[in-house]
Chain A
Amino acid sequence: MNHDSNPVFSCAGVRIHIGEKEVVKGVDLTVQPGEIHAIMGPNGSGKSTLANGLMGHPAYAVEGTVTLAGEDVSSLPPDEKARRGMFLAFQYPVAVPGVTVASFLRAAVSAVRGADVPVREFRKELLERMADLEMDPAFAGRYLNDGFSGGEKKRVEILQLLMLKPRFALLDETDSGLDIDALKVVARGINTAASNDTGMVLVTHYQRLLNYVHPHVVHVFMDGRIVRTGGPELALELEERGYDWLEPAAAAGGV
């Protein structure tokens, strides 16, 4: 982590509407390279909407400024954000039947790196990253997320994180639905990405993942806002006290 460098990601005044309803009500964030932020909050607080909205989900109307490595990407479509180094690990990755993990990843890696990767080189890299995540090589030939268990889907999201090497990644509930062994593997992947200078925001409502991934900054997210920001100790406090004690802060409109 290097606080002297320019932030890899920041957003300011982000508000997101789904239809008529304002779900995210003004969010500011700044993430440095290699820095891990956790956004924690109860179900229904708008965390996933924030993650999807920042990536550019077509169903969400997003206001505010989103900056990636110094460039304003607020109005860019998701594919252009991705090619500039932004990534979202999905809470519920969608199945794409008929498209294998390997062929999909090769297309994605080529798109993000801006050049076709030779098959042999790609194959080697893919198998190495799969081994890191303790995945059966046969996975490469399976259709993307088609019939995958919850844990398998999350591993494939982390596999993509490691293959695409984004500057900045949003991880939406990547810890949910994992048994303890899978959680450790996923945490290792996240730590590897951080050590490669990827800045990350982990969206979660469990403290569990934070036993294996140590965030530099913890934000509490309630009712569409960040209501408190602190260090790793804040996560432990949430684990102990729940969210109720922060209700007055949420009612007051956040920090």
Chain B
Amino acid sequence: MASRPAVEAAPTLALEHIDALSRAAGEDAGILAIRREARARLTPFALPDRANHLWRYTNPARFLPDGDPTAQGPADVSPTWRLDESLSVAALLAGGALRVVEIGDAARNAGVVVEDLHRAAADGFFGTVVPAAHGFLEAINAAAWRGGVLVRVPAGVSLEHPIRLRLVAGDLMVPRVLVVAGEDSSFEIIEGHVGGGAASKVIGVTEIVVGAHADVRYGLVQRWEAGVTGHLTARARVAAGAHFQMSLASFGGTAFKADVGAFLAGEGARVETFGVAMGGEAQHFDHHTEHIHEARKTSSNLDFKVALTGAARSAYTGMIRIAPGAGGSEAYQENRNLLLSGQARAESIPELEILTDDVRCSHGATVSPIDPEQLFYLESRGLAPMQAARVIVYGFLDQTLGRLPQTTRERIQALVAARLHTE
């Protein structure tokens, strides 16, 4: 067996720093207790075994923070971001703190709350969807997170315009997002990751609590600058009769691992995950999705597309778990990878744990180069080879993007088009 990674890779998380951070941020005792408990999980520290399915394709040591993430105060940055009429809420996290919160009148009047998670977290939901036990990076986040936002949409509230969260990476960012969607609420929320540079690190966690019969469309859009090494975990817990749709779009960074998914916790819950990733040069992507069916008559659908140029690498692992008590459920998963260069590589591994017979489930995975017959067809219509390839890639990704809600779709389509024109 491969040797275990060295214990000296342990992140330094000094207890006095954690206490000071918590005190300075004005947290209550409950949050501090969660931090301390998470820290205790990391002692003694060991990286996960590379034989573990989650870490087979990416070295976990890449994500370890340099130094003690709790040792410094918030960075001195003053980014600005304005609400416009196309948004219900604009909130910006940068330099280890929530810097901008703007709430439109309609959302404010409906009782939508957007506030600093440090002071708002002890509401019974924090840490319930992504507990520190989830993994070593989630434990580091739970112990050392700095800069967080709580978004709460009350029961019965429908928002016409999306909520936009923007997270700006710095040298080290350990952000935390908690979204609480009340029963019968309906809204779109987009979490956009930008910024960073050489040697930047990000360890982010997002928890989403979807109340009964709510309808939440969540977008996770990652377009870091080159040089960022980042890990984002996002999980939703979806109650009975609710619908949760996740749109995933990965463009940036040097090494990016995403661990996203949903627990279908109540009868009749529906989850869809639609995503695209575009990698080039020496980018390394590792996406893991989980659809965990815990209740009867739940349904999930996943469609994830990856297009790679240069010497980019992508690994995709997709878990579908159907618990013994989740009869009458259905789950579909499809992952397609398009390789635009001879040096690009992609892996696609479905992981199915079907623990009941009363279920409909299917999965499909392909990794293939661009079809020369498609290229010839488009070239015979006057499109230059590069343009023909762009049209094919755009179409490949757009089949999935066509399933997204309008605002997110248009945003991601624009990013895809921009990326295609720089390749």
Contact = CB atoms under 8 A, between A and B. Distances in A.
A70 B9 CA distance: 72
Given A77-B379, A90-B377, A98 B384 contact: no
Contact of A83 (B382, B396, B402): B382
Contacts, number: 80
B122 interface: no
A108 interface: yes
B332 interface: no
Contacts of A97: 395-396, 399
Given A77-B379, A79-B382, A82-B381, A96 B387 contact: no
A160 B399 CA distance: 23
Contacts of A107: 381, 383, 387, 391
A78 B398 CA distance: 26
Contacts of B187: none
A133 B396 CA distance: 28
B384 A96 contact: no
B394 A98 contact: yes
A78 B384 CA distance: 9
Contact of B380 (A55, A104, A144): A55
Interface in A55-80: 55-59, 77-79
A251 B371 CA distance: 38
Interface in B344-375: 371-374
Contacts of A164: 381-382
A96 B385 contact: no
A131 B212 CA distance: 49
A58 B391 contact: no
Nearest to A108: B381
Contacts of A59: 372
B407 to A, nearest CB: 20
A98 B374 contact: no
A143 interface: yes
A77 B372 CA distance: 14
State the majority secondary structure of interface residues on B.
Answer: helix
A111 interface: yes
B323 interface: no
A98 B380 contact: no
Contacts of B377: 90, 93-94, 96
A59 B402 CA distance: 34
Contacts of B374: 94, 96
B391 A99 contact: yes
B55 interface: no
B379 A160 contact: no
A221 interface: no
B93 interface: no
A87 B380 contact: yes
B81 interface: no
Interface string A88-118: 1010011011110000100110011000000
B167 interface: no
A111 B382 contact: yes
Given A79-B384, A97-B396, A57 B391 contact: no
Given A57-B376, A58-B376, A79-B388, A99 B395 contact: yes
Contacts of B378: 96, 104, 108
A143 B391 CA distance: 12
Interface string B387-423: 1100110111111001000000000000000000000
Contacts of B380: 55-56, 78-79, 81-82, 87-88, 90
Interface of B: 371-374, 376-385, 387-388, 391-392, 394-399, 402
Given A79-B383, A104-B378, A107-B391, 20 more contacts: A56-B380, A57-B376, A58-B372, A77-B385, A79-B382, A79-B388, A81-B380, A90-B380, A96-B374, A97-B399, A98-B394, A98-B395, A99-B391, A99-B395, A104-B391, A108-B378, A108-B383, A111-B382, A112-B382, A160-B381
15 contacts: A57-B376, A58-B372, A78-B376, A78-B379, A79-B383, A96-B392, A96-B395, A98-B398, A98-B399, A99-B391, A108-B381, A112-B382, A143-B395, A143-B399, A160-B381
Interface of A: 55-59, 77-79, 81-83, 87-88, 90, 93-94, 96-99, 104, 107-108, 111-112, 143-144, 160, 164
